[in-house]
Amino acid sequence: MTTSAARTAHTQSARTQAAQAARTTRTAQPVRGDLAYEYRLVWEASLLVDPEDPVFFDHPLDHVPAMMLVEGALRLAERAVTVVGSGRRMYTGRAAFRFGRFCELAPDPVVRVWSADEGVGTWDVEFRQGETVLGGGEVEWRAVPGGTAGDAVRAADGPEAEPVPPALVHRAHPENVLIGGFEDGPERAGSGGHRVRMLSPGPGHYYRRQSPETRSLGELMEGIRQFGILLAHEAREVELGRHFVVKGVEVDMERPVGRSEPLVLRSTSLPRQRGRGTGRLGFTIEAGDRPVGAALVSGTVVSSEAYQRIRGAAR
């Protein structure tokens, strides 16, 4: 069986060093002296960790952020789908990732993807560091529905929403803030939940360079993550200085979303507990007041002291 070299896009932070060759996994079952083999083509890439990266390491961290692993998985799956090929226009319609352990700054983590349905549809994902499995998930590619992404709704005239203060979404640099502030105020949610507008990063930004015409799933996930942090501080009274540990994130889009489309994120569910604890947050993604996707984020809020204990035990 011939295998192809696995190579991911050379990016600003999630730059990847492709494995020399994609691996095949073979399982065998003896049947009266005969062997039945199952082959699986696995794409593998190492993520080059750059603590000076201005996007994924927006501020000093003692670990590799989950969003860098997410971006590496999406880029590797995109490369694999491109090589496998399809006669249809495809987009990343759904991605779901789960994290069981922190990713340390060294050695470089490895992302692995393989087809779950022997086609270009669903790809399983695994994150590893050395011999340790950090987490996993799946990426689902879908045929682009009729019409061109971004043509359905064009942005209304007028300025974008003001970005939320960076500290409220745990960013140090304003250019990495992807959402505006609450459109309904922190104490009063509308009947459909709190709303924020998603902003488009400026020219030259990593997300803009990776996907100039449409919003990538990685960018949407980062916007949702920031909205979840804002909700925790402003709607659930979590003190600044506490740490947010992402356990899982999922986004499901019914179609691609163009950069010219006004995009609103709306909360649909929040943890009841205020100030701390573990919970799940639900969201809808709307373009022109019409739902085009949904998202879930799960995680834990811990104090600095608890975070240090967790990190000390993990090392």
Q: 99 pLDDT band (50/70/90 cuts)?
A: very high
How is 151-168 classified by DSSP, letter by letter? TS--PPSSPPPPBPPGGG
The count of C-alpha atoms lying within 13 angstroms of the C-alpha of 205, restricted to the half-sphere facing its C-beta, is 21
Rounded Cα distance between 282 and 89, Å, is 29
The predicted model scores a pTM of: 0.83
Question: Please, where are the H alpha helices in 4-86?
Answer: 66-84
Where does the pLDDT of residue 16 fall: very low under 50, low under 70, confident under 90, or very high at 90 and above?
A: very low
Q: Give the per-residue pLDDT at 89.
A: 81
CA gap 129, 42 in Å, rounded:
16
Comparing CA positions, the residue from 168, 127, 176, 180 lying closest to residue 12 is 176
Please tell me if the domain spanning 1-143 has the same topology as the one spanning 153-315. yes
Question: Would you place residue 85 in the very low, low, confident or very high pLDDT band (cuts 50, 70, 90)?
Answer: confident
Lowest mean pLDDT among 67-71, 224-228, 237-241, 252-256: 237-241
136 CB-near residues (< 8 Å, 6+ apart) = 97, 98, 124, 125, 126, 127
Q: What are the pLDDT digits (tens) for 257-298?
A: 999 899 999 999 887 766 556 789 999 999 988 999 999 999
Please provide the DSSP assignment of 195-219 as one string.
Answer: EEEEPPPPTT-HHHHH-SSB--HHH
Q: Has residue 9 got a pLDDT over 70?
A: no
| Every domain of the chain and the residues it spans | 1-143, 153-315
Lowest pLDDT segment from 89-98, 139-148, 157-166, 169-178: 157-166
Instruction: Locate 65 and state its tokens.
Output: 């952020």
Q: Supply 175's token pair.
A: 């250019």
pLDDT band of residue 248 (cuts 50, 70, 90) is very high
Look at the domain 153-315 and name its fold.
Thiol Ester Dehydrase; Chain A (3.10.129)
Report the alpha-carbon distance of residue 239 to residue 311 in Å, rounded. Answer: 20
Q: Is 1-143 in CATH node 2.60.40.1120?
A: no
Q: pLDDT-based confidence at 117, cuts 50/70/90? A: confident
Please determine, for residue 154, whether its predicted confidence score (pLDDT) is greater than 90: no
